[in-house]
Amino acid sequence: MYITAPKILLLCTVVMLCLSACAPNSGIFAGGDWQSSGLQHQHIRTLAVDFNNPQDIYAGGLLGKLFASTDGGQHWHERSAGLPPASSINALSFDNTGKKLYAATTAGLFRSTDAALHWLAMGKANQPFDYTTLAFDLKVPQTMYAGTAFHGALMSLDGGNTWSSINAGLPPATTINALTIDIDSDQLWAATNSGVYRSDN
């Protein structure tokens, strides 16, 4: 997942407030009650929305379970083919084009190019780390970052086929809980088990 610069976040906040004022009965913008959208018996850990097709929503959970909805969450279908059954799906994210969906799991990284119908294992940096989060560089195609449990952060320059560690300055055995990129300043931020870190490279 990625978040843009603070000023863009401020703009998004203003837009949301405007929508709230214009549509007082429009669900979440009006502060309305939460409503179930299915999968009540599943432990869901992460969500991703296809920005090319907003009605397409993906939900990742425990035991390698991946679910997809093509109607805005009204109906769900399991699409776990190729994902390890004993793994947990910690993060889902689309690449810059929205054509490839990536999954960070406790058993490695996986990629789907057909709306999650099939999943293929991606290149690993020597060993299958417990992957926790993903981030994509919006300015540089094919450049992406992955966070791990106890092994810090990794970077790929070829869409996830090969990886290298980028842990200079991080404490040993760092767990990365979240990664985000400030596209205005080209900074990579990491939320870890020992504080917040920033990379300016």
DSSP, collapsed to helix, strand or coil, labels residue 67 as strand
Classified as helix, coil or strand, 20 is helix
Kindly give the residue spans of alpha helices, DSSP state H, lying in the chain: 6-22
Measured between alpha carbons, how far is 70 from 50 in angstroms, rounded to an integer?
Answer: 10
How many Cα neighbours within 13 Å face the side chain of 168?
A: 6
Q: What is the mean pLDDT of residues 159-168?
A: 92
State the DSSP code for 19.
H
Mean pLDDT, rounded, for 66-92: 95
Does CATH place domain 35-199 in 3.30.1330.180?
A: no
Sheet containing strand 57-61, edge to edge, reads 44-49, 57-61, 66-69, 77-78
**127 pLDDT above the threshold of 90:** no
- pLDDT tens track for 89-110: 999 999 988 999 999 999 999 9
pLDDT reported for residue 129 = 81
Q: Domain-by-domain residue ranges, the chain?
A: 1-34, 35-199
Higher pLDDT, 117 or 9: 117
133-144: average pLDDT: 92
Task: Report CA-CA distances (Å) from 105 to 102, 132, 159.
Answer: 10, 7, 17
Question: For residue 6, what pLDDT is reported?
Answer: 42
Higher pLDDT, 152 or 29: 152
Who's near 180: CB < 8 A, 6+ residues apart?
1, 2, 3, 135, 188, 189
This prediction's pTM: 0.80
